[in-house]
Structure 1
Amino acid sequence: MDPTFRSFANGTNADKIPLCPEALPLGGQVRGHDEIVQKAVRPWVELLRRTIETEILPRLLAAQRDAESVTTPEPQAGHVSAADVAAFVELIVADDMEQVRAVADRVIVMGGGRDALLTDLLTPAAQLLGQMWERDVCDFTTVTLGVFRLDQIMKETTTVGIEDILRVAFDHRILLVPSPGEQHTFGLNVVVDTFREGGWMVRSGCALSRTKIVNFVREEWFDVIGISVTADRALKGLPACIRAVRQASCNPHLFVLIGGRAIMNHTERTRFLGADATAPDAHQALREANIFVESKVTERLHQSKTKLVDIG
């Protein structure tokens, strides 16, 4: 970060902000103190404003809407209640990470494992943060930091280690991406995490163009590609994107799985869009992918037996 902006952002004394040479008189004394400070800070304020409007706010809306597409079970005995989620969000907003981690640990131990943490606590918490921002209960900075902390908890609690990564290096592989032009969202992060926990080698990317997605499948082998679609406007270009992916893929039997809020509103269009299946949440997506690869393994075994019989 530029020292001018760092000093201002950290709340240090204004007289420590580096000044333009033309702002200093010959005698070395500062004149027009407020004007000088404004002149030094103005470009950074404008940059911050543009970043908020073009980057942060669209991502927050996408994260909140995508979180709504994830199906959360009705609270049952031992599960996380709406009040628990609200209290957890208060801790997230307050940046009380010690208590946040303690709550996360309790949910894992008592609430059904790490799956319960993702589906019953972290996902509803992300959704609640988005709703709070839409209702002007909290500002964009609070929500941005809150989602970042949720993502941090998700990463800290993963049970996937280097041994798991090495074990699946030549096993099932999936590419998980947002539809072209859309941002990487917390909901997609949950899907990525679920597949890694399920023993898959996962590649993912954010804000990818169709060309970049096509290059991914052309250069690397994937059993499955999962595409998340949040905005309805992205549906228009999805069939062409899927066709291009299939044509370029080095796997002629690539399985195309789609999900996200926009897809859940139009599940009947799955085949029309060119996909093989759709899933309402991360766990169903994992099940669909596992069913596909298991069917391919069975098919290959059958073909091998047939060849052995022919040879015999």
Structure 2
Amino acid sequence: MAGWTINRLAKRQQAPRAMAAASRGAAKGEVLFQADPLTLAELLAIKSAELSAKLAPLGDDERPRLTAPHLVSSNTSQDMQLSRIVELEIIPRLMLMHSTQPLQDRPPLPPLALTTEHVHTLARLAAEGDADSASSYVRALLDAGASQEQVFLDLLAPCARWMGELWEDDRYDFSQVTIGLWRLQRVLHEQGSRFNQVARPDADSHRALLAAVPGAQHTFGVVMAAEFFSRAGWDVECEPKATWADLQTRLTGNWFDMFGLSIATGDSIPHVASAILDMREASANRDVFVMVGGPMAAQLPDLATLCGADAMASEACSAVEAANCGVGARVKRA
């Protein structure tokens, strides 16, 4: 095969002299025959020879003398032939080859374990960095293999608690914590919309009203809980800055299956217990399921009993599970 190609190429290299002779024959009235178009291998070989000639110029006495240059295959015609072969033969074959081979998904990244160092880094970026530092850091962790559930449970929630501890220890002032928590809330909304995994409530979904004790300075936990309830298919109204009167009006004028309240300080518990009694009496759903949570839920195991609530939860996931069980049991009983 190699010898056959070389022989064909040798014949092609004699084409200029043959064409020159043909031109002389044409002047005498002889019939001219057009040479076959060059093959791809021949074109490539000619291009390679031309490149070698450019790299090692010949002397004046060594330059070939071409006669009848208008009949000799020029570089332009060779380029056109090569381009046409690529367009009509090579590209369709490549497309056909790839179309018969199904695309394979990239293997998933190994899970990334989020540590205390990640939490502290995010807190520092949120409180001290620029407006996009926290969001960029979280996106980088997701791209490195962290799951969204990890980001919510093992990063954002612990980060909010850590910033609260820094405030209590006077290592961060009120403005730094406020800015930091606002940026965490921004990350929470950004990731929720990015993955678009919130289940749409249907006719049989439950409705929840989530709020914080009026006057609470930081309400990130309530927003976090609202995100988890929405993702679980609940129809959620989140009112982190509402007053007691606002909450009572909402419960009176609308049907809610669950009312959740985040409690941040222990000195508010007596007032919360009294307010929950008022909310039950004013609620359009007289059998509304009442839950309490927030920072005090992690410190007081009997918080629900102290407040007169039906259940308590210290984390968003457990809050959703407890609400599903509690509301589901009441629906069956009804």
Please, what TM-score do these two structures have when normalized by structure 2? 0.59
Post-superposition Cα deviations, 1:15-66, rounded to whole Å, max 9, x if no partner, equal xxxxxxxxxxxxxxxxxxxxxxxxxxxxxxxxxxxxxxxxxxxxxxxxxxxx
Letter paired with 1:95: D
Q: How does 1:15-164 map to 2 (within 5 A)?
A: 78-92=112-126, 93-95=128-130, 97=132, 100-108=134-142, 113-159=147-193
Residue 111 to residue 168, structure 1, CA distance change in 2 (3 Å): farther
Q: Show the counterpart of 1:234.
A: 268
Q: Show the counterpart of 2:231.
A: 197
Residue 109 to residue 154, structure 1, CA distance change in 2 (3 Å): same
The equivalent position to 2:206 in structure 1, one of 172, 175, 190, is 172
CA contact (8 A) 1:178 1:227 kept: yes
CA contact (8 A) 1:184 1:205 kept: no
Corresponding residue SS for 2:192: coil
Superposed displacement of residue 268, structure 1: 2.5
Corresponding residue SS for 1:204: strand
Q: What is the alpha-carbon distance in structure 2 between the residues aligned to residue 297 and residue 276 of structure 1?
A: 15
Q: Tell me, which stretches of 5 or more residues in structure 2 are unaligned?
A: 1-110
Q: What is the alpha-carbon distance in structure 2 between the residues aligned to residue 219 and residue 161 of structure 1?
A: 33
Q: Show the counterpart of 2:17.
A: none
Residue 79 to residue 219, structure 1, CA distance change in 2 (3 Å): same
Corresponding residue SS for 2:237: strand
Superposed displacement of residue 195, structure 1: 1.0
- For the pair 1:287 / 2:321, whether they are aligned, the reply is yes
RMSD: 2.9
The equivalent position to 1:187 in structure 2, one of 221, 238, 241, is 221
**Percent of pairs with identical residues:** 28
Q: What is the alpha-carbon distance in structure 2 between the residues aligned to residue 138 and residue 209 of structure 1?
A: 28
Superposed displacement of residue 184, structure 1: 5.2
The equivalent position to 2:300 in structure 1, one of 263, 266, 273, is 266
Superposed displacement of residue 299, structure 1: 4.2
Q: Show the counterpart of 1:220.
A: 254
Residue 233 to residue 142, structure 1, CA distance change in 2 (3 Å): closer
Query: Which structure has the larger Rg over C-alpha atoms?
Result: 2
Letter paired with 1:117: V
Please, what TM-score do these two structures have when normalized by structure 1? 0.62
Residue 190 to residue 234, structure 1, CA distance change in 2 (3 Å): same
Letter paired with 2:130: D
Q: RCO greater where, 1 or 2, for CA within 8 Å and sep 6 or more? A: 1
Residue 142 to residue 182, structure 1, CA distance change in 2 (3 Å): closer
Segment of structure 1 superposing worse, 280-289 or 203-212: 203-212
Residue 240 to residue 129, structure 1, CA distance change in 2 (3 Å): closer
**How many positions carry a matched residue from both structures?**
223
Q: What is the alpha-carbon distance in structure 1 between the residues aligned to residue 306 and residue 164 of structure 2?
A: 32
Corresponding residue SS for 1:256: strand
Q: What is the alpha-carbon distance in structure 1 between the residues aligned to residue 324 and residue 318 of structure 2?
A: 10
Superposed displacement of residue 96, structure 1: 6.2
